[in-house]
Amino acid sequence: MRGNNSMNNKKNKRQNNKQITKIEDLNWKQINKLNRKKTIFYQPISPLEIHGPHLPIGTDLFTSKDTAAEAIKKLQEKKPELNYILLPAIPIGYCKFATDFPGSISINSKTVRDVIYSVGSSLAEHDFRYLIICTYHMAIPHLKGIYQAMKKLQKKYNMKICEPWGPYFYSDKIEKNEPKLGFDTSKEMHAGFRETSLMKYQYPYLVDESYKNLQNIYRDLNSPRVIGKKFKDLGLKDGYVGSPSKADVNYGRWFFNETVKVYVKSTLDLYDGKKQDELPKKIKAAMKALFWS
Ligand SMILES: [Zn+2]
């Protein structure tokens, strides 16, 4: 029995370590050999943005690429007949409101749109059809750029393309599914309990210990009243919203795996031609009302 178990463990380990295919490692002949109907690309994209005095500016970028990579590992086991190709993470996105701290790099939303469109059309010109956009940055102008590009790609190339995290994040599903904690996590808007937990799970050595002493600070960053304002205008002198001191590595693990699950489900639905979850109406309306910035 013991022998068997250890053999199974070894086998599982080998499967889990199965390499992820990164596009930059391939030559064009290898790419050309990929079955167009069975190849799915992943494009992680999120800006470098300050996340309080305790988390790295790469928090959103790390999360988008790590969850994409983990989803690919899961899918390779679940549906090994498809090819999953990871594109290099693009460190851009709109985060103007956070640029009153050094380290935030905001790229306007039209540029985000043009970059996503360029990536998608370059693939589509060679008849690749499946593309998953992985972003962990949920600012409306950033999403506007992504969704406009997706619309254009669907129209021009009939591309099967989706951004899975936005519709999940802006629904009430996190609060419904998460472990019960006894406080309102929907107020954890930026570098608070959720993201600090996430980074404690993924990159504990990049979390500054000072998070334990940070005061709880709450602001509604989705309120129309904050449009055009930067963090410091809202009294956020350290650049976070929520309660980072409550951070918990187990919650971080749950949150990470939940994101992975959403990517896995969206990929399978996209491949099967099922309808994707959409952004809620109020988010779509906000996106529409927004001028390009
Ligand atoms: Zn973030």
- Radius of gyration, CA atoms only, the chain: 20
* Gap from CA of 12 to ligand 1 centroid (Å): 33
Length of the chain: 293
What number of CA atoms fall less than 13 Å from residue 49's CA on the CB side? 30
* Gap from CA of 50 to ligand 1 centroid (Å): 8
pLDDT digits (tens, 9 = 90+) for 139-194: 999 999 999 999 999 999 999 999 999 999 999 899 999 998 889 998 999 999 99
* Gap from CA of 137 to ligand 1 centroid (Å): 6
Q: Which residue has the tokens 């050999």?
A: 33
pLDDT digits (tens, 9 = 90+) for 12-68: 544 555 699 999 999 999 999 999 999 999 999 999 999 999 999 999 999 999 999
> Where do the H-state alpha helices sit in 182-221?
193-202
How much is the pLDDT for 223? 80
For the entire predicted model, the pTM comes to 0.92
* Gap from CA of 47 to ligand 1 centroid (Å): 9
pLDDT digits (tens, 9 = 90+) for 100-131: 999 999 999 999 999 999 999 999 999 999 99
Pick the closest to residue 98 from 138, 65, 134, 66 (CA basis): 138
DSSP state of 287: H
How much is the pLDDT for 1? 44
